[in-house]
Chains A and B, each alone.
Chain A
Amino acid sequence: MSSAKAAGSAPGKEVSTSAFNVHEIRKDFPILHTEVHGKPLVYLDNAASTQKPQCVIDKVAEYYSATNANIHRGVHLLSQKATLEYEGVREKLAAYLNASSSKEIIFTRGTTEAINLVAYSYGRKYIHEGDEIIISYLEHHSNIVPWQMLCEEKKAVLKVIRMDDNGDLDMDHFHSLLSEKTKFISVVHVSNALGTVNPVEEIIRAAKERGIPVLVDGAQSVQHQHIDVRALGCDFFVFSAHKLYAPTGVGVLYGRKELLEKMPPYQGGGDMIASVSFEKTTYNELPYKFEAGTPNIEGVIGLGPALDYIQKLGFDAIQNYENDLLVYTGKILRGTPGVKLLGEPKVRSSVYSFQLEGIHPHDTGTILDLEGVAIRTGHHCAQPVMKRLGVPATARVSISFYNTKEEIDYFALSLQKVFEVFK
């Protein structure tokens, strides 16, 4: 993970950045060579979703051209092939995340469903009246609402770690929230709204001392840093494949086996059972217990080459490059009169939220779009953060390793067009 400040004071990193051949890498992403509104696409909305390398696109096409069949059923060859490939990605993920077994990897529809699964299954069994669940101010709505629903049903209490004006969590407040009533902690690793990298290690350490399970929402961290779930020590880690250069409609829930085993199923249906009769149904073992029905087979299979691709680039190189670009973007934004940055977190990853003076982010977004620049505008599904900062919405740029300094320069030039319209 990149520390904007640390990297800013280390100009020596230039060498390793140039070794990272971004122009070669860009060739792997066909969409980066398209035009929008007659202008070359400058895609700076990577926190919303990342683009897909050709190897992922090819894999999905190949699956439908040569393999398509349902998995875990049927003795025919195609079904066997599809099952092998699907389960192969589970194995690959277990190694990638350093899980202790592939049984700890559950496929879902996305981060959102993974969090809902835990809130529903773990929550409804182990959270009771008067218990407390801790989340933070920086959560995406998907890590707020499922817990609110649970708390409402169970008459449990939702506690929220405060954040300061810079967009950093108030860790003293966090520690003061811990008590014997605390029964679950669910926190975002990296904020999608401000780019804050949260000290999840500290949170997990404090939770472990008290035996409190922790879920880490890694939707915005898994594509920018190497995740080792055992080193991190969390009980659950969730993310969406579509933000990791892989297809949409696939999420990953890593859960510690010990916890997953004592959790009841989330949905009932095919695949999640061992045997069904009208008198009694017994559930399948992990991970199938949590995967009812036909999953997004091509999406999971498409995640395989995305993982290979990232591993080939390597996170050392990715982080070096992204960090350099992030610092560059920050310099440009800070150096542009009329730009107001929202959030100055101690450690930042990939994201800058900003406003142009006197101009609503929506107008900024529309005008940039006509210049070919794709950014996100709005509340970023993090309304509490917006409210805390006293703004209804922000404009957000979020970078990936396939973006270039030239693109950031072009983005800066396009900001001047926005000012021009409103002058």
Chain B
Amino acid sequence: MNPELRELYQQVILDHYKDPRNYKVMEPHTHHAEGHNPLCGDQVEIFLKVEDNVIKDISFQGNGCAISKSSASLMTAFVKGRTVEDVQKDFDHFHALVMGGEISDEDREQLGKLAVLEGVKEFPMRVKCASLAWHTLIAAIKNEHEKVITE
């Protein structure tokens, strides 16, 4: 098989696609946001439980390709227990990773399993698939007050 393709669809990615972690609606939650990629119809919903600035719990739902679904699944496993500030930094590092931007070895190390998504950088049309869940997570965090009130 084409090596770029193998790199893109690594076993971990296929595994998270077929068996996504934290894939459910979470009630109650403190934060929630919906992400939508109008270009391809991908949709993701993120639910958060934030206490003392720490992400205590997270779940997601939605439909999308293997890249977007596995990215969301890997993200939920990764950010559980991290602070809101950590997550903002993680997002920047993850973004650099999938865009083929500058990233220090230390930061790459920190991203752990998320590094399997690096193959996306060879596929510019697919970068947005990998980053949709992250954008939605950040939106959920920022929407705290609005959502807490309405829900």
**A residues engaging B (CB < 8 A)?**
37, 358-363, 366-367, 370, 377-379, 383, 386, 392-393, 417, 420-422
Contacts and interface: CB of A to CB of B under 8 A. Distances in A.
B45 to A, nearest CB: 13
A363 B66 contact: yes
B135 to A, nearest CB: 17
B65 A378 contact: no
B5 interface: yes
Nearest to A364: B65
Contacts of A379: 40-41
B129 interface: yes
A363 B9 CA distance: 9
Contacts of A360: 63-66, 69
B2 A392 contact: no
Contact of B39 (A37, A358, A367, A378): A378
Given A362-B126, A362-B129, A417-B1, 11 more contacts: A360-B63, A361-B65, A363-B66, A366-B123, A366-B126, A370-B4, A378-B39, A379-B40, A392-B63, A392-B64, A422-B66
A194 to B, nearest CB: 16
B12 to A, nearest CB: 14
A370 B123 CA distance: 10
Given A362-B129, A366-B126, A392-B63, A386 B8 contact: no
B72 interface: no
A407 to B, nearest CB: 20
Contact of A383 (B41, B63, B66): B41
Nearest to B69: A360
Contacts, number: 53
Contacts of A370: 2, 4-5
Contacts of B123: 366
A219 to B, nearest CB: 20
28 contacts: A37-B2, A359-B66, A360-B63, A360-B65, A360-B66, A360-B69, A362-B42, A362-B64, A362-B67, A362-B129, A363-B65, A363-B66, A363-B67, A370-B4, A379-B40, A379-B41, A383-B41, A386-B41, A392-B41, A392-B42, A393-B41, A420-B1, A421-B1, A421-B5, A421-B9, A421-B14, A422-B9, A422-B66
B43 interface: yes
Contacts of A386: 41
A367 B7 CA distance: 12
A422 to B, nearest CB: 7
Contacts of A367: 5, 9
A370 B8 CA distance: 12
Contact of B65 (A362, A417, A420): A362
A393 B65 CA distance: 10
Given A362-B129, A363-B65, A422-B14, A378 B41 contact: yes
B106 to A, nearest CB: 31
Nearest to A423: B14
A372 to B, nearest CB: 11
Contacts of B42: 362, 392
A336 to B, nearest CB: 20
A363 B134 CA distance: 20
A366 B4 CA distance: 11
